[in-house]
């Protein structure tokens, strides 16, 4: 299990290598990439802020929760902070498992949990200025890694 | 008792700072930090109302009892990924 919060460019192959085991028949890799549009606006770039101490803890909590919920071999998560350009990855999630169904499902679930519970925020910049995007309020039951509690 | 408050994203922009120290009476709960912030920056009331708490880098309830030296963060609605 590996989690990383960094302002450096994310390394997808490193995550894939970190999760794959000889028992794994499937590795899924999710790239969350900065796109050039949002709600009809042209986007120039994003800036991510984070509460680093809690964000790392919460990324780890999501990884552990995903490992225990699904039949997977390993999971790795990397999230970037600071300025991220169009086409660059801000989030990577890699999951290895014996079979592809679990790898797909677990990866999807992990991405959703990250977006609901980790104290990271994105600010979108366009020609007219920048705005912190309206996010998901963190609910206490979800915070402690108990989905649907 | 002295509490260290941490702000992020839109709250930090709105308050013009990422942290400040706050003196609270013994027995104060996390909610008191939100009240103090809203009193200092009334136009952040709506966003503060939608924010969660973290005490010493762990999520906490609004009624969490605080101790001297605690670090309290207000966590606005998150938008990672």
What average pLDDT does this structure show over A18-39?
Answer: 97
Kindly report the CATH number assigned to the domain that includes residue A48.
Answer: 3.90.1170.40
- Report yes or no on A86 lying in a domain: yes
What average pLDDT does this structure show over A18-23?
Answer: 97
Whether B58 and chain A come into contact, CB under 8 Å, resolves to: yes
Q: Please report, for residues A39, B24, B30, the alpha-carbon distance to residue B67 in angstroms, rounded to integers and kept in the order given.
A: 44, 10, 10
B61 vs A91, A136, A140: nearest CB: A140
Q: Shortest Cα distance from A136 to chain B (angstroms)?
A: 5
Question: What's the total number of domains in chain A?
Answer: 1
Question: Which residue of B lies nearest to A30 if distances are taken between CA atoms?
Answer: B81
Q: Shortest Cα distance from B60 to chain A (angstroms)?
A: 7
Torsion angle defined by CA atoms of residues A140, B40, B56 and B13, in that order, rounded to the nearest 10 degrees:
80
Query: What ipTM goes with this model?
Result: 0.96
At A81, give phi and psi (nearest 5°): -125, 165
The strand ranges marked E within chain A are 2-6, 26-33, 37-38, 41-42, 45-50, 74-80, 82-85, 89-97, 120-126, 129-132
- Report yes or no on A12 lying in a domain: yes
What average pLDDT does this structure show over A89-110?
Answer: 98
Confidence bin at B81 (pLDDT 50/70/90): very high
B80 vs A57, A91, A134: nearest CB: A91
Express the helix, strand and coil content of chain B in percent, nearest 5 each: 30, 30, 40
Q: Beta partners for A17?
A: none
Q: Determine, for residues A120 and B79 on separate chains, whether the beta-carbon distance falls below 8 Å.
A: yes
Question: Which residue of A lies nearest to B13 if distances are taken between CA atoms?
Answer: A132
Instruction: For residue A1, give the nearest of A132, A94, A99 by alpha carbon.
Output: A94
Confidence bin at A141 (pLDDT 50/70/90): low
pLDDT value of position A6: 98
pLDDT value of position A128: 83
Fill in the DSSP letter of residue B44.
G
On the question of pLDDT at A27 being above 50, the answer is yes
Domain that holds residue A26: 2-130
On the question of pLDDT at A148 being above 90, the answer is no
- CATH topology classification for B2-75: Ubiquitin-like (UB roll) (3.10.20)
pLDDT value of position A146: 46
pLDDT digits (tens, 9 = 90+) for B5-44: 999 999 999 999 999 999 999 999 999 999 999 999 999 9
């Amino acid at each position: 299990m590996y989690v990383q919060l960094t302002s450096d460019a994310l390394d997808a192959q490193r995550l894939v290598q970190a999760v794959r085991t000889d028992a794994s028949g499937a590795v899924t890799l999710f790239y969350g990439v900065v796109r050039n549009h949002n709600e009809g606006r042209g986007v120039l770039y994003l800036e991510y802020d984070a509460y680093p101490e809690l964000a790392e803890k919460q990324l780890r909590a999501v990884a552990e929760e995903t490992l225990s919920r699904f039949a997977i071999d390993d999971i790795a998560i990397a999230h970037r902070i600071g300025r991220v350009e169009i086409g660059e990855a801000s989030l990577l999630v890699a999951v290895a498992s014996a079979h592809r169904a679990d790898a797909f499902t677990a990866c999807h679930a992990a991405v959703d949990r990250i977006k609901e519970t980790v104290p990271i925020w994105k600010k979108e910049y366009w020609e007219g200025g920048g705005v912190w995007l309206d996010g998901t309020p963190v609910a206490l039951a979800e915070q402690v890694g108990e989905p649907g509690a | 008792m002295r509490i260290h408050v941490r702000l992020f994203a839109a709250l930090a922009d709105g308050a013009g700072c990422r942290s400040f120290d706050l003196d609270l009476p013994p027995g104060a709960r996390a909610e008191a930090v939100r009240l103090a912030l809203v009193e200092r920056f009334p136009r952040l009331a709506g966003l503060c109302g939608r924010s969660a708490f973290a005490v010493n880098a762990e999520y906490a309830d609004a009624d969490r009892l605080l101790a001297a030296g605690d670090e309290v963060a207000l966590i606005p609605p998150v938008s990672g990924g």
